[in-house]
Structure formats: C-alpha cells, structure tokens
Amino acid sequence: MSTYVAARQLLPSATIERLLTGVRASAAETRATVSPLDGAPLARIPQSTDADLDAAFAAARSAQPAWAALGPATRGRLLLAFHDLLLAHQAELADIIVAETGKARRDAVEEIFHVAMTARYHGVHAACVLRSERRPGLFPLLTRVDVHHHPKGVVAVISPWNYPLTMAFSDGLAALAAGNAVVAKPDAQTMLSALAGLELLRRAGVPADAWQVVAGPGSKLGPALIDRADHVCFTGSTATGRSVGERAGHNLIAASLELGGKNPMIVCADAELGAAVDGAVRGCFANAGQLCVSFERIYVARAVYADFRDSFVAATLALDLSVGLDWTPDVGTLASESQLKKVAAAADDARSRGATVLAGGRARPDLAPWSYEPTILEGVTEEMACFREETFGPVVALYPFDDEDAAVAAANDSAYGLNASVWSTDHRRARALAARLRVGTVNVNEAIGATFASLAAPMGGRGQSGLGRRQGPEGILRFTETQSVATQRGLGLGTPPGMAKEQFAAVMTRGLRLLRVVRR
C-alpha cells in the first residue's frame, strides 16, 4: 500500500467539507467512499432521506417559474459564465475527478472541456432553439399556427461514476437552458466531482434552488426521483435503464436513457493505418475503457489486418499505465473492485476458451488496487462472453473481414446501437458505409470526439443502447412541452348556416383538391 498514491492527501478536508454542503441531506447518516488510487477512504457522503427528496423537489418547483421567466437569453448568459468558471478552475476540478475515479488527468481535463463546451452551446443557441415559430395552417391566410416550447418543470438527472462531471451536467444544463429546474442524484462514488461543478454553477449565478443535489443508493432514491419528476434522465446500464423507463412510462413522463454499448470500429483496406491505430488506442482505452461509446470490437480488412494488428499492439504496449495527478499516465486504473472482477472475468473467459491475448490481460495491483492492463484479444468466438456482452473496460477483440458488406453485417450483429467508427481515405464511401450501421453516432476517420464534441449534433443510442438524444436542438427540446396555438380568421370550419351538409362536403372536396396542388 505504501507505493500507492495517497488520494486522501490530495484533497484537503476543508475542501471536501465545503463541497458536501451542496448535498440536500438532513440526517446524520453518511456513506464512505474510497479512491481507486489507493483503495483508502476518501470522504463520508451525507445521505438524503425521503423528506430531503420532498424538500429538494419543493425548492426546485418553487424556483422554476422565476428561472423560466428570466428567458433563454438571460439563462444563456449565466451558462456562459459557468463555461468561463469551469476553464478557470480546471486544475482543481481535475484533481477531484482523478481522486474519485483514478482516471488519467488527460481524461479528467477532457471532461471539463466537454462540460464547458456543453454550457457554451446551450448558452449561445438555446434562445434560437426555443423561439416560437410559425407553421403552415389549414387554409392559407385564414389559419395561423404558432408553436411554443414550454419547460416541463423539474427534471431528475441520475448520473454514473465513469464521467462524473460530464454525465452530471450534460443533460442538466440543457434542462436549465430550456427553463426547467433540476434535481440531480450523482453516483455515490463520485459525489465530490458533481458537487464541485455545482459550486461553480451557483457562482455563475444559477439560483441555488434551481439545481438541487441528493445523495443515496440508486435502488432507494431512483424510484423516488422518478415518481416526483416531470422528466427523468438516466445514464447507466441497460438493465437499470429498463427499470427506469418502465417506471417513467407508468407515471406518463418521458425518459432520456443512455445505456450500454458494444461499439464496433471498421478499418477499410484503404484506411490510413497510422491514424486508425491512433484512433483505436484512444477509442478503446480512454478512461481505461470505462466509456459507453468506447470500442470493444474492431473489424479490419484482411489485406491490412496483420499490419494494423502489429501496430496496434505495439502502440498499446507503449502506453503508460499508472496513476497520479500529473500528466504522465496514458491509462489510469479501473474505478472499483467490482469493475476489476468484471473486466478480468471477460478476458479470462476468452483466454480459457481459446482466444489469444496479444497485449495485456493482467491485473496490476502493484500500480493501484484495481488497475488492469489494456488488453487486445484475437480469435474471439461466439461462445465467449466478450463476443456480445459489454465489458466496459480496456478489453477489445480484433476480427478480419473480406468484404465491407460482411463488416457491416458483423458490426450490426448486436443488440446495442450506440457508437461506431469507420476508417477510409474514400470519405464518400466511408459515409455511405457509416449510414448502414444501426447506431446513433458514427465517426469517420475519428474514434469518438468528432460526434461527441460536436455539440450541435444529436447523440444517443438505438436498440438496447437507449432512448432519446442529448446535444443539439434535440437535446434541448426534449425538456419542453410543445404547444400549438391556431388562430382561425373569417371562414369557420363548421357547416355555414343555410348550407346543406352535402353541399359543404362538396365545397370542402374542391378546396382540398385545390390545396393538393399548392406547395407550402
């Protein structure tokens, strides 16, 4: 243990205590969290009761009308102030994220950048997206239709541990931009990261009651949150997502669900292999593979398979696997003992059934309690668990293909449909190939960032990867109730006095035939 980075020494007690004041919790009950850097206790998180949830939602509902009345332009200015504070305090935020997750500092800083970009996008574009608009009415000149977008009220956000800042705020910022209040339940393991972001959000000028944070186990607080909310956002496993969606459906509220993925990458014969290898390393091993959009399946054209494989293995073996607050690590540690067991079981099962381990395949407790080497497998077959099941760790399997139709078929042979990547120097053909993949996002000649960092582009999954879209106009409008207001002038739509019903039907028939040739 003496060789481990002492996480508790990285965060002063005063900092932890200050952040914990952001939790809506009235009872004395606390829950200890540990750091993946050394497995030692990091903080004791106050736990919220049912009464605390009632108080959080009451405060949010009370604050929401005034927050909505500010208008999207004013709300947007406050989100832009949040953007600036995130960038100004990125060093402190990165320290907290690394201490709670064990990820490489580079990955932690990318989280901060993504939240800042999200705040900027909604801050700049929300007013345009939410603006009332005119739509064509039944009769030209006589029927006017106005479409308005009203906030839903209070949005519940249930976020995971793997990207504790990005996932805690990416949905909630869109909800705020649309005029809603938020009650958030970050994952129990990574409360400090979410609370550090909350502190900056309030400093930016967002009213304290407009964003409430509660703490506690998801099995207890999750159902209670859904029962009190007007919309729920959940990011996590497909199994839990089903339960969230079922309860939301029973309550007749909408649910945004980003769930699991078994994401494919396709390397065509004409791909620039150096770029593809670099993309594979980033796409498979960022955040130690604990990323819903990371790649666990790589399909490579047989003509370049050996060259790609050898270069990918060499690049993977050259990665710095370590932990710490500086910029040295390329790959940090897994986040928990349960993650280590899951990842090791997937690799061990494949190896025991005949797969070849080209790189990695070992736990590294000499580096951190739950560290695991970036692992590349070859010869993975259907009877192996990692062929179809999501590993959610730094384990990827390589498969050669002989034609692109076969690659598309293999990539689509999954219950999931979140993210994919296609590599080819023929961009037109690559885009056509990408359009055939049954996933929500596809990056051409990039691993993850081209779609994930393009905030105007919607992001989300198909199949068992979830429902709804975050980012883009779709990411804001999901938090609104659309209202149509139609104003009719002159001619009414009922049978005019003195006109027979048959005559009225004949007049309407002629009118509809006339409208048929009018293009609007």
CA angle 282, 381, 340 (to 5 degrees): 50
pLDDT (0 to 100) of residue 514: 85
> Half-sphere exposure (CA, 13 Å, Cβ side) for 406?
10
How much is the average pLDDT of 42-61?
97
How much is the average pLDDT of 507-511?
87
Structure tokens at 304: 């370049």
* Residue 7, pLDDT above cutoff 90: no
> Half-sphere exposure (CA, 13 Å, Cβ side) for 20?
22
Give 520's pLDDT tier (boundaries 50, 70, 90). Answer: low
How much is the average pLDDT of 335-347?
98
How much is the average pLDDT of 28-57?
96
Of residues 100, 110, 258, 296, which has the active-site annotation? 258
Of residues 233, 268, 284, 292, which has the active-site annotation? 292
pLDDT digits (tens, 9 = 90+) for 219-235: 999 999 999 999 999 99
Architecture of domain 8-259+473-477 in this structure: 3-Layer(aba) Sandwich (3.40)
Higher pLDDT, 276 or 518: 276
Catalytic residue check, 233: no
- With residue 199 as reference, give the H or E element that holds it: helix 191-203
pLDDT digits (tens, 9 = 90+) for 367-392: 999 999 999 999 999 999 999 999 99
pLDDT (0 to 100) of residue 519: 61
pLDDT digits (tens, 9 = 90+) for 448-467: 999 999 999 999 999 999 99
* Residue 1, pLDDT above cutoff 50: no
How does DSSP assign 405-467, residue by residue?
HHHHHHHH-SSEESEEEEE-S-HHHHHHHHHTS-SSEEEESSSSHHHHT-TTS-B--EETTEE
Where do the domains of the chain lie?
Answer: 8-259+473-477, 263-458
pLDDT (0 to 100) of residue 298: 98
- Edge-to-edge strands of the sheet including 143-151? 133-136, 143-151, 480-488
Catalytic residue check, 258: yes
pTM more than 0.75: yes
Higher pLDDT, 12 or 132: 132
Mean pLDDT of the chain: 96
pLDDT digits (tens, 9 = 90+) for 237-249: 999 999 999 999 9
Nearest to 89 by CA among 112, 114, 57: 112
* Residue 343, pLDDT above cutoff 80: yes
* Residue 30, pLDDT above cutoff 70: yes
Distance CA 201, CA 82 (A): 6
Distance CA 489, CA 110 (A): 55
CATH of domain 263-458: 3.40.309.10
How much is the average pLDDT of 91-108?
97
Helices and strands: H and E segment counts in the chain: 17, 20
